[in-house]
Chains A and B, each alone.
Chain A
Amino acid sequence: KAGVTQTPRYLIKTRGQQVTLSCSPISGHRSVSWYQQTPGQGLQFLFEYFSETQRNKGNFPGRFSGRQFSNSRSEMNVSTLELGDSALYLCASSLVLATGYPNVLTFGAGSRLTVL
């Protein structure tokens, strides 16, 4: 089956602009998470959505926001871009199973954002 699809794969923006990234999860996966990857920092959790509701949020400023649609597709938005926002933004989807069963995140290839 198709994996997690992220668009666009690459984009360049200038400081002060905003950007919207899109993520289509694996069919049947209702949980979508977003992570930011920067060199030397690993993956930093941004937020997680399930059934169109944000359930968890990481330690990022309010310029970072997201949403999930009824078909589980998700978007994240970064407003007033700063140079430090240059990163690889990864989306991951997972099944939501009965309590007691751990889930595994399946990641997309990411959207590489460069802020000039």
Chain B
Amino acid sequence: DQQVKQNSPSLSVQEGRISILNCDYTNSMFDYFLWYKKYPAEGPTFLISISSIKDKNEDGRFTVFLNKSAKHLSLHIVPSQPGDSAVYFCAAGGFSSGSARQLTFGSGTQLTVLP
């Protein structure tokens, strides 16, 4: 049973446009959410996070939105750049339950930004 789901295995976007990556979760104990980016032959790198007390967190071109009632979060990248082409993983943790470091990951979305 996948507790964190990324239903789109791939997404293609034109350079300069907005990329929107989506993630759904089922476990209501999750209260901390992160996005990681992974290039081939490298480990995932942390991108941005959000705790359940917020509904939005912004860092430069990256914004994460959290809709707790829908158990849905999304990552917006504006404007998209070719260097953003990578696999993006959504992850969730139950920080308040002491499992913040036992993250549950989605299966990833391959983002391709076309020049």
Q: Is the Cβ of A107 less than 8 Å from the Cβ of B45?
A: yes
Q: Quick one: which of B91-107 are within 8 Å of A by CB?
A: 91, 93, 95, 99-107
User: How far is A72 from B65 in the complex, measured between Cα atoms in Å?
Assistant: 35
A26 part of interface (Cβ distance < 8 Å): no
User: How far is A58 from B103 in the complex, measured between Cα atoms in Å?
Assistant: 10
The total of Cβ contacts below 8 Å across the A-B interface reads 59
A56 contact set on B, CB distance < 8 A: 99, 101-102
B1-44 Cβ-contact flags toward A at 8 Å (1 or 0): 00010100100000000000000000000001010100001111
B51 is contacted by which of A102, A105, A108, A109 (Cβ under 8 Å)? A102
Q: Is the Cβ of A42 less than 8 Å from the Cβ of B89?
A: yes
With contacts A42-B108, A104-B34 taken as known, whether A110 is within 8 angstroms of B43 at the C-beta atoms is yes
Q: Is the Cβ of A42 less than 8 Å from the Cβ of B100?
A: no
A21 part of interface (Cβ distance < 8 Å): no
B103 is contacted by which of A31, A41, A45 (Cβ under 8 Å)? A45
Interface residues on A, range: 20 to 34
User: How far is A30 from B98 in the complex, measured between Cα atoms in Å?
Assistant: 16
Q: Say how far B27's CB is from chain A's closest CB, in angstroms.
A: 13
Judged by DSSP, the binding face of A is: strand
Q: Is the Cβ of B44 less than 8 Å from the Cβ of A48?
A: no
A86-116 Cβ-contact flags toward B at 8 Å (1 or 0): 0000101010000000111111111000000
User: How far is A110 from B39 in the complex, measured between Cα atoms in Å?
Assistant: 12
Q: Say how far B58's CB is from chain A's closest CB, in angstroms.
A: 17
28 of the cross-chain contacts (CB-CB < 8 Å) are: A33-B101, A40-B107, A41-B107, A42-B89, A42-B107, A43-B89, A45-B103, A45-B105, A48-B102, A56-B99, A56-B101, A56-B102, A58-B102, A92-B43, A102-B95, A103-B100, A104-B34, A104-B46, A104-B49, A105-B101, A105-B103, A106-B46, A107-B36, A107-B44, A107-B45, A109-B41, A109-B43, A110-B43
- Please list the residues of chain A having a beta carbon within 8 angstroms of any beta carbon in chain B: 4, 31, 33, 35, 40-45, 48, 56, 58, 90, 92, 94, 102-110
- Please list the residues of chain B having a beta carbon within 8 angstroms of any beta carbon in chain A: 4, 6, 9, 32, 34, 36, 41-46, 49, 51, 89, 91, 93, 95, 99-108
